[in-house]
Structure 1
Amino acid sequence: MRNRSLAAAMAVLCLTLLAAPAQAGTAIDPKADALLRAMASHLQSLAAFSVTEKSLVDRVFPNGQKVAFAHATAIKVARPDKLRAEAAGDNVAGTWVQNGPVFQVYDAKSKTYVSLDVPPRLEAALDAALARLRLVGPMVDFLAADPYKSMMEGVLEAAYIGPSEVGGRPCHHLALRQLTRDFELWIDAGKAPWPLRLAATDKTLHGDPRTLVEYADWKAAPGFPAKTFAFTPPAEAVRAKVVTPPAAAGTPKP
């Protein structure tokens, strides 16, 4: 599972995903692997979908205290090259839109926006946009051309923890581990293996901050009207200049 750390006025699009812990001495549990493959295959099969998510994102203060910030995001996706996310919360209010080779982010708090030329495919477009804007984009793995491969990148261990429940819905609880991050994933045990909850702990940052995301109202769709992915900044909005960080300079990795 990939991580992209980027910082700007709008820092959450919790569209992203997994990686794993497990019991000491184990590697990839076959049951956990089968569930991950089924979930990934289901997401990959969708031409278009919508989902809402609620997240709690830790910020660790210098004194070590953790403070959680809440966000809610409504997301619509149409493969291969369209995305709209409307986010609001404690420190976020804005819109993300990808429409083919153009990616726009509008921050309602500062009334600023950026517009970027990006590769047309969702995965590559998000890679490029997140790297340039230094934003956190947690749902990139769900949107990858090969979600399973993307989710399992860097995973050292994956375990099936057991049956659980999210919002009254029976689910499977998995734990995955990377070298620098731990993840937990709850997958719907019903007819469609939707991801219902994601917890991620970043062991590289002071205080090991945690992000908890709950997904709801998953809906497969045949498509969306073209206007869904059209975005015109408000008249008072100011276009911000994007300075590419040295590490992200050059051609974006596809």
Structure 2
Amino acid sequence: MALLIRLARVLALFTASAITASVDAQPAPDAPITQKKPPANGGKSTRKSPEPDFKFVVEPQAMDLLKAASDKLASAKTMSFTATVSYEYPSKLGPPIVYTMRYDVTMQRPDKLRIVVPGDGPASEFYYDGKAMTAYAPAENLAAVSDAPPTIEAALKAAYRDAAIYYPFTDLLVADPYAALSGGAILAFRIGSSAEVGGTKTDMVAWANNDVFLQAWIGTEDRLPRRIRAVFQADPLRLRHDMQLSDWKLDPSVPPGIFVSQKAQAAGRMPFVSPAPPPHGVKPIVSGMAPNLPQPKSGQ
């Protein structure tokens, strides 16, 4: 699942690079006085790795819960919710520190989206009206504007490709959330029930592919996702990413003008490009434009 976050993949990449650089920078140890004779087998270990005492399974019950949540989201013509996302970052002290972002999201299928991010960090706003997409920095009163494809799905892909704009709940906004949430599953099972998340009873589901391990809390009655927690396989520090989903409204009446910002239209202009290109020689850990983001259909 995209949750969750391109930031995690970038962080894992730079953490791995930093660890490698640190190891390479260590001074070489003094040469031993005597050299040991290499073993006859060329130094290869004759011991076999222990077999895991469990077997990965994809339980239909868990996949059915993901499908029910996906169908609930896909059927909504309009939708709004708040995502509160906590990201762990490494620190020199050892234990990670946590940063939190809040996203207030409103969408109208198939071609309108508004995302307001009040903090932590610099506030930002994103508007898409089916023709153009605008990234607005209210504190600086600067806006980046670009022509946009005709669907939310394709617009999010273009925003990521052109300006490194990415949101951890992207999988919840696409036309077919189940395709995004279920792709490449190697593990899925129902953990149990909880009454402590989102103020309602939820079913807890664990899910994994070769890139990420997720735990999701899905409303037992309304089948809405209430919380998603992720750890990425490529991250050597196994930092955790946690997304709380609240204030759900499905098919609300949406004012027609909220997908365009008058302040953003009157603001100064900046290029619709990535603010910081990756360092020279750094390759992405996972290929593709964005995690699990479906490709737009031909003509979009």
TM-score (norm 2): 0.70
Out of 65, 73, 79, the position equivalent to 2:103 is 73
User: Does 2:254 match 1:224?
Assistant: yes
Out of 190, 201, 212, the position equivalent to 1:160 is 190
> Tell me, which stretches of 5 or more residues in structure 2 are unaligned?
9-52, 279-287
Change (3 A) 1:234 1:146: closer
Change (3 A) 1:181 1:229: same
What residue in structure 1 maps to residue 210 of structure 2? 179
User: Does 2:135 match 1:134?
Assistant: no
Out of 50, 63, 66, the position equivalent to 2:80 is 50
Q: Deviations over 1:166-205 (max 9, x none)?
A: 1331100011112121111100011x21100011112323
Change (3 A) 1:243 1:62: farther
* Distance apart, 1:58 and its partner CA: 1.6
With a CA cutoff of 8 Å and minimum separation of 6, indicate the structure with the bigger relative contact order. 1
Change (3 A) 1:218 1:189: same
In terms of fraction of residues, the more strand-rich structure is 1
Per mean C-alpha deviation after superposition, the further-off stretch among 140-149 and 130-139 is 130-139
CA distance in structure 2 between the partners assigned to 1:62 and 1:195 by the alignment: 35
CA distance in structure 1 between the partners assigned to 2:194 and 2:247 by the alignment: 19
Change (3 A) 1:90 1:172: same
CA distance in structure 1 between the partners assigned to 2:84 and 2:172 by the alignment: 16
Out of 157, 172, 176, the position equivalent to 1:146 is 176
Aligned residues of 2:212 and 2:231 also touching (Cα < 8 A): yes
Aligned residues of 2:145 and 2:271 also touching (Cα < 8 A): no
Change (3 A) 1:82 1:144: same
User: Does 2:35 match 1:34?
Assistant: no
User: Does 2:93 match 1:60?
Assistant: no
User: Does 2:216 match 1:215?
Assistant: no
Secondary structure (helix, strand or coil) at the match of 1:57 reads strand
State the one-letter code of the partner of 2:192.
Answer: G
Aligned residues of 2:164 and 2:273 also touching (Cα < 8 A): no
Change (3 A) 1:60 1:132: farther
Aligned residues of 1:94 and 1:105 also touching (Cα < 8 A): yes
Aligned residues of 1:78 and 1:223 also touching (Cα < 8 A): no
Q: Deviations over 1:28-53 (max 9, x none)?
A: 21110111111111111100011122
State the one-letter code of the partner of 1:230.
Answer: V
The higher radius of gyration belongs to: 2
What residue in structure 2 maps to residue 18 of structure 1? none
What residue in structure 2 maps to residue 17 of structure 1? none
Q: RMSD value over aligned CA atoms? A: 2.6
CA distance in structure 1 between the partners assigned to 2:252 and 2:100 by the alignment: 31
Aligned residues of 1:60 and 1:206 also touching (Cα < 8 A): no
What residue in structure 2 maps to residue 117 of structure 1? 147
Change (3 A) 1:236 1:24: farther
Secondary structure (helix, strand or coil) at the match of 2:258 reads helix
Identity within the alignment, %: 29
Q: Deviations over 1:91-144 (max 9, x none)?
A: 141111111021111123443321122211111111111222213311211111
Secondary structure (helix, strand or coil) at the match of 1:100 reads coil
What residue in structure 1 maps to residue 135 of structure 2? 105
What residue in structure 2 maps to residue 16 of structure 1? none
CA distance in structure 1 between the partners assigned to 2:7 and 2:88 by the alignment: 15
Change (3 A) 1:187 1:92: farther
Secondary structure (helix, strand or coil) at the match of 1:228 reads coil
CA distance in structure 2 between the partners assigned to 1:75 and 1:40 by the alignment: 17
Secondary structure (helix, strand or coil) at the match of 1:226 reads coil
* Distance apart, 1:243 and its partner CA: 3.8
